[in-house]
Amino acid sequence: MVLNQTILMKKIIIQKFNDEVKPSRKERSINAKLKEDEDRAVKNNTTELELTENDNKIKDVNFLK
């Protein structure tokens, strides 16, 4: 009986620890969506620059597209 209670207590402690450490699936999904949106915004706001070999000047690659 005491052994069963000890095992049960360990399971409860482990479950509480896992609940505190691991965010919920919904929270992970929201965080992933926010990260994707942030990455997309950064990508859209930065211009690609290219160093040409012939004149060593930086030009905007998006200008050519």
What's the predicted TM-score (pTM) here? 0.40
pLDDT-derived band at 3, boundaries 50, 70, 90? confident
Q: Domain residue spans in the chain?
A: 2-64
Instruction: Report phi then psi at 46, rounded to 5.
Output: -105, 140
Cα torsion 5, 7, 10, 11 to 10°: value is: -110
Structure tokens at 24: 């919920």
CA distance 7 to 4: 5
Q: What is the DSSP string of 27-50?
A: HHHHHHHHHHHHHHHHHHHSPPEE
What is the DSSP code (8-state) at residue 53?
A: T
**Higher local confidence (pLDDT), 48 or 37:** 37
Q: State yes or no: pLDDT of 15 exceeds 70.
A: yes
